Amino acid sequence: MLFRLFALVLLAGVGWSQAMAAPNGAKLYARNCASCHGASGNGGIGVPLALPSFQAGISDDYLRKTIQLGRPGRVMPSFSSLSKDEIEALVRHVRSWSKVPAPVFSATRVKGDPKHGGKLFAQHCAACHGVNGEGAQGTGVTFSRPRDLPIMAPALHNPGFLAAASDGMIKATLMKGREGTPMVSFLKQGLKEKEINDIVSYVRSFETQPLAKSARLLETESPVIVRESPYNLQTTVERVKTAVTTHNFFYGRVQTLEYGMTEPAKENPKQVIVYFCNISLLNQALAVDPRVGMFLPCRITILEKPDGKVDIMSVNPKVLSRLFNNSELNQLCEDMKQSYTAIMEEATL
């Protein structure tokens, strides 16, 4: 009897410790997702995850794969660093906003005529999803589009979407639409099920076509520009400040990477940021898309590594322009990339 009681207590303790160790979906969501999708899933830069028609139109598997893979070239990043249990906790939290069970779609490929589907796509889908399925310009409820649209047309020609969405899910979306969004029911628009199958087959054929430009960019462009300096940290900082002014920027300030995040005495003096700006470029960028302000003023980070070598680095503006999905920024960000590169190379000569 005593042994059985001990065993029950032990099992209860194991269950309790497992429960205590289980990832907290709400906390994970607040830390990783809320800034784009809203604290309660009402959307913003990202999709309104709590929208009833969205919840009713996507499977748990779609959510899992979207979290894991992201959308290359779009704003949605990959959270591949999260564990399987953490992703499951996130999925459960997102589903907590729904009053209906998660739908399950067939994994069987839809059979249709992709050639005919391409013609139908051009007529019924391209205006929102892009001629080549590259997705709508802009992101979420932001400055780049009217605020009365709660969702942007996703990039269908995207490896993340194509890996996450089954043919069954795509077909169901086309047949039912998404209430509360511009996505209408194609059945109600007069299309037959066979024609919808053709569109699904065309969308699936994107897997065999070259990637959309925004997704290809990350294959050719590093998100970070890095140069190794032949000088010590202080000399490198001074050379960056000089190079900044040479290239028509004005120098702002230098501060440690940890400034404001810890006590001043604990800041690491071997990790600093040089801030600089060009008012003309600043005004041009903000006029095109005010979201650029999140990454201003311009900055270059300088780090002294444990071996004493010094690296200077910056985010690649060309990649940022694709993340905003705003083609008007592309040339400006290309120019900015060239300026950043020139400054860093001059500083390390």
Q: What are phi and psi of 103, to 5 degrees?
A: -70, 155
Q: What are phi and psi of 311, to 5 degrees?
A: -110, 145
- DSSP codes of every residue in 198-266: HHHHHHHGGGGSPPPHHHHHHHHS-SEEEEEESS-HHHHHHHHHHHHHHTT-EEEEEEETTTTTS-GGG
Tell the residue number behind the tokens 């780090």, with chain if given. Answer: 303
Q: What are phi and psi of 273, to 5 degrees?
A: -125, 135
What is residue 327's predicted lDDT score, i.e. its pLDDT? 65
Q: What are phi and psi of 227, to 5 degrees?
A: -135, 145
d(CA 330, CA 137): 12
Q: Where are the domains of the chain?
A: 23-219, 221-347
- Considering only residues 147 and 85, tell me which one the structure prediction assigns the higher pLDDT: 85
d(CA 14, CA 3): 16
d(CA 314, CA 225): 5
Interval 58-71: pLDDT, tens: 999 999 999 999 88
- Considering only residues 220 and 160, tell me which one the structure prediction assigns the higher pLDDT: 160
Amino acid identity, position 211: L
Which residues, 6 or more positions from 269, have their beta carbon under 8 angstroms from its beta carbon?
Answer: 256
- Considering only residues 37 and 238, tell me which one the structure prediction assigns the higher pLDDT: 238
State pTM to two decimals: 0.63
- Cβ neighbours around 266 below 10 Å, total: 9
pLDDT band at 3 (very low <50, low <70, confident <90, very high): very low
Q: Residue 258: is its pLDDT beyond 70?
A: yes
Q: What are phi and psi of 253, to 5 degrees?
A: -165, 170
Residue pair 89/23 in contact (Cβ under 8 Å)? The answer is: yes
Q: Residue 333: is its pLDDT beyond 90?
A: no
pLDDT, averaged across the chain: 84
For the domain with range 221-347, which CATH number is right: 1.10.3720.10, 1.10.10.10, 3.30.310.70, 2.60.40.60? Answer: 3.30.310.70
d(CA 57, CA 211): 25
- Considering only residues 264 and 4, tell me which one the structure prediction assigns the higher pLDDT: 264
Name the burial class of residue 19, with classes exposed (0-12), middle (13-18) and buried (19+) by CB atoms within 10 angstroms of its CB.
exposed
What is residue 347's predicted lDDT score, i.e. its pLDDT? 95
Interval 18-61: pLDDT, tens: 445 689 999 999 988 987 888 898 887 778 899 999 999 999 99
Interval 263-308: pLDDT, tens: 888 889 999 999 999 888 888 887 777 667 767 788 999 999 989 9
What is residue 219's predicted lDDT score, i.e. its pLDDT? 57
- Of 172, 149, 168, nearest to 110 (Cα)? 168
CATH 1.10.760.10 fits domain 23-219: yes
Q: What are phi and psi of 267, to 5 degrees?
A: -65, 145
- Of 278, 257, 269, nearest to 342 (Cα)? 278
Q: Residue 140: is its pLDDT beyond 90?
A: no
| Window from 203-207, 260-264, 339-343 with minimum mean pLDDT | 260-264
